[in-house]
A and B are shown apart, each in its own frame.
Chain A
Amino acid sequence: MKSIPVSTTINGDPYEFLCAPDETLLDALRNRLGLTGAKEGCGTGDCGACSVTLNGRLVCSCLVLGAEAEGAEIATIEGMADGDELHPLQRHFIDHAALQCGICTPGILVAAKSLLEKNPDPTDEEVRYWLAGNLCRCTGYDKIIRAVQAAAAEMRGA
């Protein structure tokens, strides 16, 4: 199969890569561009560990083809902090012990950021339903919900 050249923007930076027609965006990010923050937990869109945004929309990058990134704006966990300045979600995840092993954390952070952009003042139930596609096996979600709400409050200036 002939490789496809792709020009895209990731976390605000221009990238060009070649990928196979059947190659996932997740594999392209991880294996071709060295952006290993997105994780493959299942490869079937069930766990959310590979969450990124594609033109502002939250997606499982294991269910998107690399070729679909052509001309798109992609945001990954690597772009969430502003240099040394952590995003409030990142900071509150550390302060609330909202991660144990941390493998689901990049996907959950990307998903939570996407939620707060749409809904800056969610109820706990809205956070729980938004994150229902992101599996965490360590925490029981309690501290994750608290960290998201604490970040949301800070971002609202509450």
Chain B
Amino acid sequence: MSLDEYQKREFKQVGTRVRRPDGVDKVTGRAMYGADATAPGMLTGRILRSPHAHARIRSIDTKAAEALPGVKAVLTGADLPAQEDDFIRDVQDNCMARGKALYDGHAVAAVAAVDAATAKAALKLIKVDYEILPHVTEVDVAIKPGAPVVLAGRSLENVPAGMSENVTSHCEFGHGDPAKGFAKADRIVERSFRTAATHQGYIEPHACLASVSSDGKADLWCCTQGQYFVRTLCAAIMGMEASQLRVTASEIGGGFGGKTTVFIEPVALALSRKAGRPVKIVMTRDEVFRATGPTVHTSMDIKIGMAKDGRITGAEAHLRYSGGAFPCGTVDMGAQAAFAAYDLDNVRTYGWNVLTNRPKEAAYRAPGAPQAIYAVESVIDELCQDLGLDPIDVRLKNAAKKGTKSSYGPTFPDIGLVATLEAAKKHPHYSAPLAEGQGRGISCGFWFNFGGNSCVSLNINTDGTVGVTEGNPDIGGSRASISLMAAEELGIDYDRVRTIVADTSSLGYNDVTDGSRVTFAVGLATIKAARAAVRVMCERAAKIWGIDADAVEWKDGAAVPAGPNAGKFPPMSLAEIAAVSFETGGPIAGHHEVNVDGAGVSFGVHIVDVEVDKETGATKVLRYTVFQDAGKAVHPSYVEGQMQGGAVQGIGWALNEEYIYGADGRLQNPTFLDYRVPVASDLPMIDTVILEIPNPGHPYGVRGVGETGIVPPLAALSNAVSRSAGIRLSELPMSPPRVLKALGGS
């Protein structure tokens, strides 16, 4: 971990609430999203999907579809190459089934036709001969020996013998001896929990436009969180060299982790290659729900021992996660995050990943953490209730701090949990009176945050303006944050900087917009690119003044002599140096390429007041406050926005959202009518308190803020419901029927 980056400084622009550069385009309808692009001669692509949860594909007869006038290409799994690499093969097989359909909605064939009506008609002419196989959609059933096997031969060696072949991996973290810890406890609570799979629920369905030329070059326009990773996956599937495939990220209509992989992009490319024309595919909402990644569904056992004074003496978690029909590592993150907020002597977590006949999981905001932390924070709250202790005091007593050996291994540097808990405790919300029937819940949350590969080019234009080229789709205002950091470092106005997101041919590799990494890592690369440009500008001024470059420094947006010995020259501003750059050595630029370390973990605490309607089982959220350590908040409005948005996704997860499968293995609710995300009338204002504990790994002290906010709501809501209605639920969502059942009603 890089801990020497942060230098305390007074900010002039970072921390202000400037207008985002893409704002006007987005409020006027001008911004171009995935489905908004067209190309001359474009065809419409459509995908045929399995209606069965698990079926062997005996044959696919595409002759009639191919013969339909207006159909230009038909594709099945047989058209795609065999892949040796497990990971690439899984991605490809998820885009287009080969041999077996593994879940309701799994793609089995695709067509490209002159228009949507023809494409739709062609799909009806494709005859798939299925042999229906027994299916399994629930993790607790799939884990048992004798359960239908989703994919054979995928168990890693660390899976204990005697479990179903659906168990693909096992992990274990922790230190000390929980049994010894439990022996010291005054009270031990052991509970089992379940959480439903939820979908990221971005409002923009996946969309792409692919164009493959007969000379082998290809262009792909798509809504994605990472155009470079799309290129990696598509180039592997298409057997292309990376340089021949240019991927351009459109404006993106939400992702939350769900647009970090490919679903339709390789299909559109393969259809385009076959048809010799551009092909556009836009998913329907039904396809988004049935065939793109929701998060894992889980089953968990938690055991925590506590002394009378609130000290946790021992802690253990057994986590069983299922990310659908293909292996995934999400349970590892849950097992690492479960107890990360606490300084524990005896802690152990165990995780198992289990295959089920459901769509392949995709990342969802802090993947794996909300579920495990929901279970842990529920048990801690129950212990607080049993022992008559204040929930914040107990968390403060056990809170991880600088120097704590975390439950997943690393020792923490400066972290903000104690400050966050103290801010929550002294906030008026925590002491506000509650009416009869209302309940207040709190929960801590944790996320690792990530840095990763980042490239930034920063060009000084001759008119004194600056262009920043970066490679991460802007999902919530990151271009504004990056422009702010460039302006701060260069000492020029924010309005003089324009940041754009490059396509894959215009800049080196950038990791996906995920892991709350962009403002942190791309920001760091931007600051260093600006410093590189500043060095060049100082050299140019030195040349003009006829002094050593070492004798020039950068101050308030201008080159100045470093001291009295350097000579007396009036400051040369960035604009003045830029204006004569053609005479002093040519255009001026700075760039920086790095694999950033030192992301700095993030903690949050949420307080929520609810009232449970005992007639209907509905839970009304009355008041909500989010406390989060953001490091330096570069653009506070968008930091608040991440905290609010994460909290509300968590509220949806806690109260309503779930994938519901029927006995037939089909998804019962693939619409926004039946999969109910929170709407405006469900919610109060979401208050926010930003704590700025500088991250030692960033020049300005920035931490990632995007993901932590979804972690605490699940337990905060459950703990509040428990205190409002006197019932402790152990399953999410706490939908009205479940609450009514727990209340003993019908």
Contacts and interface: CB of A to CB of B under 8 A. Distances in A.
Interface of A: 20, 30, 35-44, 46-47, 49, 76-78, 80-81, 86, 90-91, 93-97, 99-106, 109, 124-125, 127-129, 131-145
Given A128-B680, A142-B644, 17 more contacts: A35-B29, A36-B32, A40-B35, A41-B203, A43-B284, A47-B285, A80-B28, A99-B26, A101-B252, A101-B476, A102-B251, A103-B203, A104-B253, A132-B680, A139-B645, A140-B644, A144-B680
A105 B26 contact: yes
A128 B683 contact: yes
A100 to B, nearest CB: 4
B475 A100 contact: yes
A132 B686 contact: no
State the majority secondary structure of interface residues on B: loop
A38 B641 CA distance: 24
A75 to B, nearest CB: 12
Contact of A90 (B28, B200, B203, B677): B28
A97 B21 CA distance: 12
A141 B651 CA distance: 13
Contacts of A102: 22, 26-27, 31, 251, 253
22 contacts: A39-B35, A39-B204, A41-B205, A41-B253, A43-B285, A44-B671, A93-B27, A100-B254, A100-B645, A101-B204, A103-B204, A103-B254, A106-B27, A109-B27, A128-B680, A129-B681, A134-B680, A135-B201, A135-B672, A137-B201, A141-B648, A141-B678
B477 interface: yes
A46 B671 contact: yes
A93 B476 CA distance: 14
Interface of B: 17, 19-20, 22-24, 26-33, 35-36, 117, 200-205, 251-256, 282, 284-285, 475-477, 635, 637-638, 640-641, 644-645, 647-649, 671-673, 677-681, 683, 685-686
Nearest to B685: A142
A77 B27 CA distance: 8
A15 to B, nearest CB: 16
A142 B709 CA distance: 15
A103 B644 contact: no
Contacts of A143: 637, 640-641, 644
Contact of B638 (A43, A47, A97, A142): A97
A84 B584 CA distance: 40
A43 B200 CA distance: 18
B325 to A, nearest CB: 25
A86 B25 CA distance: 11
Given A97-B641, A106-B29, A139-B645, A44 B476 contact: no
A64 B33 CA distance: 23
A100 B414 CA distance: 30
B108 to A, nearest CB: 22
Contacts, number: 179
Contact of B204 (A37, A41, A99): A41
Contacts of A135: 201, 203, 672, 677, 679
7 shortest interchain CB distances as A-B pairs: A37-B29, A103-B253, A140-B648, A102-B26, A97-B637, A46-B672, A140-B644
Contact of B680 (A30, A80, A127): A127
Contacts of B205: 40-41
Nearest to A103: B253
B644 A37 contact: no
Best-surrounded residue of A43, A97, A131, A143 (most CB of chain B within 10 A): A97
B28 A131 contact: no
A113 to B, nearest CB: 11
- In this complex, the member of B22, B28, B31, B282 whose beta carbon has the largest number of chain A beta carbons within 10 angstroms is B28
Contacts of B673: 44, 46
Nearest to A92: B27
Contacts of B285: 41-44, 46-47
B680 A145 contact: yes
Contacts of A106: 27, 29
A78 B117 contact: no
B683 A47 contact: no
B202 A101 contact: yes
Contacts of B649: 137
Contacts of A76: 29
A37 B477 CA distance: 19
Contacts of A43: 284-285
B638 A100 contact: yes
Contact of A101 (B19, B29, B32, B254): B254
Contacts of B476: 100-101, 138
A143 to B, nearest CB: 6
A153 B648 CA distance: 27
B533 to A, nearest CB: 29
A74 to B, nearest CB: 14
Contacts of A132: 679-681
A83 to B, nearest CB: 11
Q: Which of A135, A140, A141 has the most CB of B within 10 A?
A: A140
A37 B30 CA distance: 6
Contacts of B683: 128, 140-142
A97 B17 CA distance: 9
Given A41-B203, A49-B203, A101 B475 contact: yes
B20 A94 contact: yes
Contacts of A141: 648, 678, 680, 683
Nearest to A144: B680
A138 B254 contact: yes
B27 A94 contact: yes
A137 B29 contact: no
Nearest to B26: A102
A91 B24 CA distance: 8
Contacts of A125: 681
Nearest to A38: B29
